[in-house]
């Protein structure tokens, strides 16, 4: 069949996304569907039910990654793969991750309805714990699958309540039997909201990122000396929170000091015992540094690490630093990026060549197979917040581009 005129069903995609948004839905219109929570389980169950309706061959691996395989004419050929993640940030949005999974599902449904036969098999995937918010780091299960991270290290990662990732996987019934181990993939496409302001600013419908910035994560642990705040004089205090406050500003100043293209953020902090009338004696905070230039990001870290050590020494607050996770910048396959741009053009959608500042499982997939992403605009450039939004028209457009990229790559030998 001539698939050129084939289009996905935008209404069906919308109702699928709306149904998913109810799972973990927040009163302010966002979702909280943390990795391996009860909400994640409910969303996975629904996803698996939808995969079964399409007669896909379902595999759940030992990291809880869910794959649905649609056979091709030649099943010796490696599959074309597409998907993203079902988990969300706390009070996150209704599109981050889930759009890429439901978008790929909508493509599968369209291929199914139209009885399209592809040369290569096509696989849809939900990667476990992309966000890294409950269990750090992010993209952990695609990282294990791609061979970049260790499975048992991943299992041992704990959340803020001391729950282990491996145990939570088993608890929700998604610790599968299949090895979380890469197999040959012909091409990987990840469809996602932009999560930034560029597409809206440039009035473009589709974004074709040339790749993803590097991501470097650090965990800082400070110790101070707790005491009653009233009788304890200001001089001679060892206030762990004050030390952290100075350090946090150093992180914020880092991109300016370094110059070049980079961002640096402290997004998470725990302060103990967290009482207004006790001098804090324990603080944990996180550092996130991103750049297109891995070396630049490493130099920035060395600079700020030295600041941290100086501040800790001056304030008499012992410091422990964990270099938690690094993923290199991911320059995507140029042919596939061009295919995204060409497909957008063929479908009469405007398109922007850009970079992704957000991390995606596509970073790890890019290490093992030709990879590209498809972005659609985020209204107001807002994401990881409850007001995160994308028009239904744009959701439909991105899914059409995804489908045509899948059709083209799955047709070629």
Report the C-alpha gap between 377 and 92 in whole angstroms.
17
Strand partners, 321: 220
Residues 6+ apart with CB under 8 A from 226: 273, 278, 279, 280, 281
87 is a contact residue toward Mn ion (CB under 5 A): no
| Contact with ligand GLV (CB under 6 A) among 64, 166, 280, 359 | 359
Which of residues 305 and 329 has its CB atom nearest to Mn ion in the complex? 329
Q: Which of 96, 106, 168, 239 binds Mn ion (CB under 5 A)?
A: 96
Q: Nearest 5 degrees, angle CA 106-CA 108-CA 111?
A: 110
Taking CB under 6 A as the criterion, the residue among 141, 254, 358, 405 binding ligand GLV is: 358
The 8-class DSSP code of residue 384 comes to: S
CB nearer to ligand GLV: pick between 283 and 358: 358
Alpha-carbon dihedral 96, 378, 16, 14, rounded to 10 degrees = 180
Cα distance between residue 74 and residue 306, in whole Å: 57
In the complex, minimum distance from the CB of residue 51 to ligand GLV, in angstroms, rounded to a whole number: 24
Give the residue with the Cβ less far from ligand GLV, 211 or 359. Answer: 359
SS3 of 105-126:
HHHHHHHHHCCCCCCCCEEEEE
Task: By CB under 6 A, name the one of 138, 311, 327, 372 that touches ligand GLV.
Answer: 138
Query: What residues contact residue 104 under an 8 Å CB cut-off, 6+ apart?
Result: 82, 83, 84, 124, 125, 191, 402
CB of 405 to ligand GLV, least distance (A): 22
The site that binds ligand GLV (CB under 6 A) totals a number of residues, namely: 4
Q: Taking contact as CB under 5 A, which single stretch among the options 97-105, 272-280, 316-324, 390-398 is the one that binds Mn ion?
A: 97-105
Spatial neighbors of 163 by CB under 8 A, at least 6 apart, are none
Nearest distance in Å: CB 162, ligand GLV:
23
| Minimal distance, residue 132 CB to ligand GLV, in Å | 7
Residue from 411, 404, 410, 413 nearest 107 by CA: 404
The least distance separating Mn ion from the CB of residue 320, rounded to whole angstroms, comes to 28
Evaluated on CA atoms 196, 197, 203, 209, the torsion sign reads: negative
**64, 72, 83, 97: residue in contact with Mn ion (rule CB under 5 A):** 97
Query: Two tokens at 7?
Result: 């289009």
Q: At its nearest, how many Å lie between ligand GLV and the CB of residue 192?
A: 10
CB closest to Mn ion, residue no: 97
Residue 136 partner contact from Mn ion, ligand GLV, none using kind-dependent CB cut-offs of 5 to 8 Å: none
Q: Which residues 182-241 are close enough to bind ligand GLV by CB under 6 A?
A: none
The site partner of 40 among Mn ion, ligand GLV, none (C-beta below 5 to 8 Å per kind) is none
Name the binder of 359 from ligand GLV, Mn ion, none, CB < 5-8 A by kind: ligand GLV
| Residue 298 token pair | 């490493």
Q: Which residues bind ligand GLV (CB under 6 A)?
A: 131, 138, 358-359
Q: Which residues bind Mn ion (CB under 5 A)?
A: 96-97
């Amino acid at each position: 069949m001539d698939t050129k005129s084939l289009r996905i069903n935008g209404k069906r995609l919308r109702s699928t996304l709306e149904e998913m948004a109810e799972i973990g839905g927040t009163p302010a219109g966002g979702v909280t569907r943390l990795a391996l929570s009860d909400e994640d389980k409910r969303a996975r169950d629904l996803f698996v039910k939808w995969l079964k309706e399409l007669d896909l061959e379902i595999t759940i691996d030992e990291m809880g990654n869910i794959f649905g395989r649609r056979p091709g004419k030649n099943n010796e050929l490696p599959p074309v793969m597409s998907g993203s993640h079902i988990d969300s940030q706390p009070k996150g949005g209704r599109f981050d991750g889930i759009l890429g999974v439901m978008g790929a599902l909508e493509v599968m449904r369209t291929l199914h309805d139209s009885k399209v036969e592809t040369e290569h098999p096509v696989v849809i995937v939900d990667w476990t714990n992309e966000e890294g918010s409950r269990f750090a780091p992010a993209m952990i299960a695609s990282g294990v699958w791609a061979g970049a991270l260790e499975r048992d290290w991943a299992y041992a990662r704990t959340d803020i309540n001391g729950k282990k990732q491996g145990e939570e996987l088993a608890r929700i019934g998604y610790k599968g039997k299949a090895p979380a181990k890469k197999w040959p993939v012909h091409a990987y496409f990840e469809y996602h909201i932009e999560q930034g302001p560029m597409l809206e600013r440039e009035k473009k419908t589709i974004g074709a990122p040339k790749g993803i910035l590097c991501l470097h994560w650090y965990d800082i642990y400070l110790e101070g000396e707790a005491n009653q705040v009233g009788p304890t004089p200001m001089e001679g205090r060892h206030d762990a929170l004050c030390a952290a406050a100075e350090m946090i500003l150093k992180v914020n100043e880092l991109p300016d000091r370094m110059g070049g293209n980079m961002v640096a953020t402290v997004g998470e902090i725990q302060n103990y015992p967290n009482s207004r009338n006790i001098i804090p004696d324990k603080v944990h905070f996180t550092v996130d540094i991103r750049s297109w230039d891995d070396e630049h990001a490493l130099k920035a870290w060395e600079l700020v690490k030295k600041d941290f050590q100086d501040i800790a020494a001056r304030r008499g607050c012992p410091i422990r630093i964990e270099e938690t996770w690094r993923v290199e910048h991911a320059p995507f396959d140029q042919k596939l990026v061009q295919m995204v741009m060409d497909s957008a053009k063929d479908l009469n959608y405007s398109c922007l060549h850009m970079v992704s500042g957000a991390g995606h499982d596509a970073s790890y997939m890019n290490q093992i197979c030709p990879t590209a992403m498809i972005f659609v605009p985020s209204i107001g450039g807002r994401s990881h917040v409850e007001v995160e939004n994308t028009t239904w028209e744009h959701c439909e457009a991105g899914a059409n581009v995804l489908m045509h990229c899948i059709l083209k790559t799955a047709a070629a030998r």
